Structure 1
Amino acid sequence: DGSGGRMGDFPWDDKDFRYIAITVGGVASVLLYLYFRDPGVEITWKDFVHRYLGRGVVDRLEVVNKQFVRVILVPGADISNGSYVWFNIGSVDAFERNLEAAHWEFGLEPSHRTAVVYTSENVGSFLMSVIPTLLLVGFLLFTLRRGPMSGGAGGGRGWPFSMSESPAKMMKDNIDVKFKDVAGCEEAKVEILEFVNFLKNPQQYKDLGAKIPKGAVLSGPPGTGKTLLAKATAGEANVPFITVNGSEFLEMFVGVGPARVRDMFAMARKNAPCILFIDEIDAVGRKRGGGNFGGQSEQENTLNQLLVEMDGFNTSTNVVVLAGTNRPDILDPALMRPGRFDRQIYIGPPDIKGRASIFKVHLRPLKLDPTLNRDALARKMAASTPGFTGADIANVCNEAALIAARHLSEAVNAKHFEQAIDRVIGGLEKKTQILQPTEKKTVAFHEAGHAIVGWFLQHADPLLKVSIIPRGKGLGYAQYLPKEQYLYTQEQLFDRMCMMLGGRVAEQVFFGRITTGAQDDLKKVTQSAYAQIVQFGMSEKVGQVSFDVARQGQVVMEKPYSEATAELIDEEVRELVDGAYQRTLKLIREKHDLVEMVGRRLLQKEVLDKADMLELLGPRPFEEKSTYEQFVEDTGSFEEDTSLPEGLKDWNQGKGQNQGEVSASQKKQAT
């Protein structure tokens, strides 16, 4: 039909028919062997005794499967119609008695009697003997099948040799992710798209004496959009895009990693100008010299080859290397130096404007309630999700759609989004979990203590919702609205510690006992106290010093200070935590009636939102921000835009500015 297929609509090629023919031929060969093999000549017991045993031409007897006996004759014996003779037996015992009687009849001495061998044969045993040969032949065919590898510099080699070929994949078209699908990282988009312009219009830079940057590292927490930004770059660029994962270089065979790096860069140079993206580069880019005693490290050899390929004697200026990682602190300094990765682009969690832009992107495919305005909903959701990354926001939108479908709703409404946020932050509701009345009351007053302390402390986060319905591992759940700030004073941190201790203090005041429910609160209080004393220099006795005692969750075994300083730090931490506890205890006793009121309302309704808190407690005595407009007021930042930056739109379309001509939009972007 002209589509390259054969036999109707089956898209088979010549290789497929070749291997099918080989398989069919092998099966046919086995069947022909079974059909045409020599069946021998069947005789009776009387013929065996008088024609063969009595004439002394029997070499040995083989009892096969305890059913028949194959007579093996001495060389030179004449047998018509076959190569051997055989006869059936009723049982092995009867055959042995009859053979013994025949030997006595002919007067044969024991040393001259015929040897008897017992064997078992079937078609399965024959196939088992043939399988190793078939496996060897199949392996050779598989090697030939994988011979002509596409895309690598060493194409045409067999499979054992193709292990050194790069697993990198090259993409040119049909990439559906564009820059309009990426939001919340406007500055990173500008820098990435600038690399594309370097490749498409290199002359305007070379005329000024500039060198094209070799590459950039995209770093940041998980879920902030590093890989998505790379995909968007592939979608927007009109140059080949080669992608590979850092772990794909490492194999159990020595020398495979460096060979794959060489092959990958050979592929990139062959298709230059192009963009090469290495995701999770920390798999091969770790610092050298750590823990490799008495031998060479395959990872170090791979890293060394990567360093040479990026900036050695055999480099090319038409290949831009992008890399993604969430652990830039463990990368080798030689890899991060200018000339290899000239730029380090940090992609952090988005601020409130970035979250609003990301919500607009992920709300686009959802079927929303007609009464909802997408832009207003995006701003409202951005104000309700502080600290969320792009992956978290995508999960919230997807969970809202799933909840709407579960409830058989025709469209996604605001209630579904609220439930989705609760689901992402707190976990799945456990409505079937049975709590004893005393436990439920303890949880209610514990959460009421948190809420009251946070309500009457100036620097505590405003409360959005409090619930005693178990979620995830916790028995209670409270959602607060942290401020969009990056600097904290000692007073603000102290108020936060008091709010964390509110639940434990409420248990002590109302029940005269404490429970294990405050373990997570105490852990956060301890971490905050040690951070203030050890890292932030907020203690007059310890002084203006900062000790790096924890690095990415790994505790340093040797403390960088003396035992006397350690004792002083412990004393300061205990004094700080005790001060927060006493202040919280005083506040809970002053607001005893309000804590009891909130606790009983929680026992009654199980969930309280901000409107319920305003009804019970009245307005909060401190000014607070809760809406998008209030958060972005006087911030001075520009509105996020999911489209291309104004000064780079022409570049992406291949219409680079002429030398010496700079548009007004570019001037504005540069400003």
Structure 2
Amino acid sequence: MSENNEDKNKDKGPISFNFKNNRFAFVLLMIISLSFLALFLFGNPSPVRELEYSAFLEYLDQGKVKEVRIVNDSIVYELSGSIISESGTAVDFKTILPYPDSTLLQKLEDHDVRVSGKRPNVSFFSILIQSFPWIFAVVIIFFMYRQVQGGGNKAFSFGKSKAKKYTETTKKITFADVAGQNEAKEELSEVVEFLKNPLRFTNIGAKIPKGVLLVGMPGTGKTLLARAIAGEAGVNYFHMSGSDFVEMFVGVGASRVRDLFEQGRKNSPCIIFIDELDAVGRTRGAGYGGGHDEREQTLNQMLVEMDGFESKDGVIIIAATNRPDVLDPALLRPGRFDRQVVVDMPDVKERQAILTIHSNKIKMGTDIDLERIARATPGSSGADIANLVNEAALFAARKGKVAVEMDDFEEARDKLLMGVARTSRVINPKDKLATSYHEAGHALLHYYLEFADPLHKVTVVPRGRALGVAMSLPEEDKYSRDSGWLLDRIKIAYGGYAAEKIVYGRTSTGVQNDLEQATGMARRMVCEWGMSENLGPVAYGQKEEPIFIGKEIAQHKDYSDVTADKIDGEIKSILSNCLNEVMTLLTENRDKLDKLADALVHRETLDDKEVRELLQIEPFSESRVDKEVSSNKEES
């Protein structure tokens, strides 16, 4: 306990020292400023009045000037017969010579004026006044110097690491605060055990991995898992982003890497966490800076430091990235980041657990169904769910509620998935009817296509950049899709186009996004997923993705022109067949299309239950699931 207290005092010492020094300098600056202000206001107690040179000559001719003192370029004198100040003391007058007057002494001699002179007084206050700009400059330089130091005791500490240190006094995060990710936590529990009891591994000759790389999509909780490891093990935790290493000065990144690892050794056992490793760990030689690129030098130093770590150091390196494909192979070899832990998107049970953790921080209503919310948010990460809960609380607060209710979650989810509802936009009835037919065409197909996901909501309230939205949500999480589902998605995308064609005989610009989705999906079915019967299971077109840029910029054509014609023909065939089937379905159900469009004009938003009641369609659980169960029984 004494060692821990000493470490805490050491951590707090430099912070309080810097604060006191800066506060003392600020107080000193204020005292100097107030002193000079008082000097300017009260520094000349004797009353002195200034007169023009012409007035001085006039008084001289009148004989009122008996004695003068010439100091530099000013004449100080008293006027005989004039009064005096309110306090009863004589008033000195001063006249500044506007130009060199060679006849002045002769005039003074002609009027019997006694002339004297003296050296200008050089007082302590005048010296301070003249030195004030220099003193002010010194104080400013002092503050800049303290800022450059960054809290250390060495000037120009650019090479010092910017890592944030979290100790036991910081809010402790454990695995209990991380919902789901059971497989990842099991993998990382070995790291915790090694930090708690390293002899258990070293006595048997085992070596713990030096580096653990957390791989996953943004928002899945990689940083939270790293902090949970430190919280479970009860050790120090250094956090630094990959972009913090590289600066405009050459050699700063490598110096910061050395300083970071040196801090880790001094505070062992500890965890060093590097977030967004791909910012500094990209494959060498793939950039545009050449072999002496600053980023590559930083990576080289990191490789050297990780290679120099020994098990006895008690330092574990954990890094996180969502682009493991761009990392340098030297980082991923055994002895460095030799263990990769995948932090995947949460499934429905994990989403419910995440909702439970975040919903405990807000006031919940009695109608909240977290399971239903979890099922309605497929593909959402932990960060997305946390944002969803916060948005729902904000909606409830705007409405003046005392607790968050289910409709607040619905509204928050619609905002995050489809955009903010623009209820203030004025749409004329003709355009609103056309939009209603367009969205009704999308929505109606969900009830007549075998593999389509169930409809969740259809609305003609503008959201985001869309005038209307027909939204579907799967009943369960899917990790792969077959050709039947993909073809039904293309048909649903064509629903708005076909509805406009049937009703108006022409289409509008609102079908642009639908056509892009349908064409893109058909092209990927043919070129990437091998779902074309004529072309077979062959992948066409290799993507060109420079590893330094990290994004796809082109697709290389690695097939002949004859094959390109076949690909175009297959894509067009898929799209034409889907469109013809959609035209047939909507034409046969024109009465339901009209009824649904008319309801959207008047009610603007309809959910799945309301659409089924309007069109007299049996509930989903009775129509599709029961049929599938009964068909399976008949086959068996």
User: What corresponds to 1:237 in structure 2?
Assistant: 233
What does the per-residue CA deviation read over 1:507-530, in whole Å, with 9 as the maximum and x for residues that have no partner?
A: 111111111112221121122111
- Confirm or deny: 8 A CA contact 2:210 2:338 kept in the other structure: yes
2: CA distance, partners of 1:478 / 1:451: 6
User: What corresponds to 1:23 in structure 2?
Assistant: 29
Go from structure 1 to structure 2 and tell me whether the alpha carbon gap of 1:540 and 1:271 turns closer, same or farther (over 3 Å shift): same
SS of match in other structure, 2:318: strand
Which residue, 598, 601, 621 being the options, matches 2:599? 601
User: What corresponds to 2:116 in structure 1?
Assistant: none
Go from structure 1 to structure 2 and tell me whether the alpha carbon gap of 1:137 and 1:534 turns closer, same or farther (over 3 Å shift): same
2: CA distance, partners of 1:624 / 1:541: 32
User: What corresponds to 1:138 in structure 2?
Assistant: 140
SS of match in other structure, 1:514: coil
1: CA distance, partners of 2:244 / 2:59: 70
Matched, 1:88 2:100: no
Which residue, 384, 390, 403 being the options, matches 2:395? 403
What does the per-residue CA deviation read over 1:29-70, in whole Å, with 9 as the maximum and x for residues that have no partner?
A: 756986879x999997659999xxxxxxx9x997xxxxx799
2: CA distance, partners of 1:490 / 1:371: 39
Matched, 1:447 2:439: yes
What does the per-residue CA deviation read over 1:174-231, in whole Å, with 9 as the maximum and x for residues that have no partner?
A: 3243322211312112222321111112222223321111121112211211122223
User: What corresponds to 1:511 in structure 2?
Assistant: 504
2: CA distance, partners of 1:41 / 1:400: 74
User: What corresponds to 2:577 in structure 1?
Assistant: 579
Which has the higher relative contact order, 1 or 2, with Cα contacts under 8 A spaced 6 or more apart? 1
- The amino acid that maps onto 1:490 is S
Which residue, 528, 542, 558 being the options, matches 1:548? 542
- Confirm or deny: 8 A CA contact 2:245 2:252 kept in the other structure: yes
2: CA distance, partners of 1:11 / 1:269: 25
User: Superposed, which structure 2 residues align to 1:106-505 within 5 Å?
Assistant: 131=133, 134-140=136-142, 142-143=144-145, 149=151, 156-158=153-155, 160=156, 162-173=157-168, 174-293=170-289, 296-312=292-308, 317-370=313-366, 372=368, 377-482=369-474, 483-505=476-498
User: Superposed, which structure 2 residues align to 1:571-650 within 5 Å?
Assistant: 571-615=569-613, 616-619=615-618, 624=624
SS of match in other structure, 1:205: helix
C-alpha deviation, 1:502, in angstroms: 0.6
- The amino acid that maps onto 1:307 is L
1: CA distance, partners of 2:404 / 2:49: 84
2: CA distance, partners of 1:42 / 1:516: 82
2: CA distance, partners of 1:156 / 1:101: 66
1: CA distance, partners of 2:332 / 2:171: 29
Range with greater deviation from structure 2 (566-575 or 452-461)? 566-575
C-alpha deviation, 1:234, in angstroms: 3.0
Go from structure 1 to structure 2 and tell me whether the alpha carbon gap of 1:49 and 1:278 turns closer, same or farther (over 3 Å shift): farther
Go from structure 1 to structure 2 and tell me whether the alpha carbon gap of 1:590 and 1:300 turns closer, same or farther (over 3 Å shift): same
- Confirm or deny: 8 A CA contact 1:594 1:617 kept in the other structure: no
What does the per-residue CA deviation read over 1:558-580, in whole Å, with 9 as the maximum and x for residues that have no partner?
A: 43334443333223222222222
- Confirm or deny: 8 A CA contact 1:251 1:257 kept in the other structure: yes
What does the per-residue CA deviation read over 1:589-609, in whole Å, with 9 as the maximum and x for residues that have no partner?
A: 122222112111212221111
Matched, 1:539 2:546: no
- The amino acid that maps onto 1:505 is A
C-alpha deviation, 1:456, in angstroms: 0.4
Go from structure 1 to structure 2 and tell me whether the alpha carbon gap of 1:583 and 1:536 turns closer, same or farther (over 3 Å shift): same
- Confirm or deny: 8 A CA contact 1:535 1:548 kept in the other structure: no
2: CA distance, partners of 1:148 / 1:590: 74
2: CA distance, partners of 1:322 / 1:432: 49
- Confirm or deny: 8 A CA contact 1:456 1:620 kept in the other structure: no
- Confirm or deny: 8 A CA contact 2:498 2:582 kept in the other structure: yes
- The amino acid that maps onto 1:238 is G
What does the per-residue CA deviation read over 1:407-428, in whole Å, with 9 as the maximum and x for residues that have no partner?
A: 2223222222222222221122
Go from structure 1 to structure 2 and tell me whether the alpha carbon gap of 1:625 and 1:316 turns closer, same or farther (over 3 Å shift): farther
- Confirm or deny: 8 A CA contact 2:542 2:556 kept in the other structure: no
- Confirm or deny: 8 A CA contact 2:173 2:228 kept in the other structure: yes
Range with greater deviation from structure 2 (210-219 or 10-19)? 10-19
C-alpha deviation, 1:394, in angstroms: 1.4
Go from structure 1 to structure 2 and tell me whether the alpha carbon gap of 1:269 and 1:561 turns closer, same or farther (over 3 Å shift): farther
RMSD: 3.8
Go from structure 1 to structure 2 and tell me whether the alpha carbon gap of 1:431 and 1:293 turns closer, same or farther (over 3 Å shift): closer
2: CA distance, partners of 1:499 / 1:449: 8
- Confirm or deny: 8 A CA contact 1:172 1:234 kept in the other structure: no
- Confirm or deny: 8 A CA contact 1:460 1:492 kept in the other structure: yes
C-alpha deviation, 1:232, in angstroms: 2.5
TM-score, with normalisation over the residues of structure 1? 0.74
Go from structure 1 to structure 2 and tell me whether the alpha carbon gap of 1:333 and 1:127 turns closer, same or farther (over 3 Å shift): farther
Range with greater deviation from structure 2 (139-148 or 217-226)? 139-148
What does the per-residue CA deviation read over 1:139-162, in whole Å, with 9 as the maximum and x for residues that have no partner?
A: 24553687594xxxxx5322x1x2
SS of match in other structure, 1:219: strand
2: CA distance, partners of 1:69 / 1:474: 84
Where does the alignment leave 5 or more consecutive residues of structure 2 unmatched?
1-8, 10-15, 62-69, 77-92, 108-124, 630-636
Range with greater deviation from structure 2 (603-612 or 138-147)? 138-147
1: CA distance, partners of 2:136 / 2:467: 62
C-alpha deviation, 1:478, in angstroms: 2.0
What does the per-residue CA deviation read over 1:297-328, in whole Å, with 9 as the maximum and x for residues that have no partner?
A: 11111111111111147886521111112222
What does the per-residue CA deviation read over 1:111-140, in whole Å, with 9 as the maximum and x for residues that have no partner?
A: xxxxxxxxxxxx9xx989954663344324
TM-score, with normalisation over the residues of structure 2? 0.78
2: CA distance, partners of 1:183 / 1:380: 18
What does the per-residue CA deviation read over 1:11-30, in whole Å, with 9 as the maximum and x for residues that have no partner?
A: 99752564245324643675
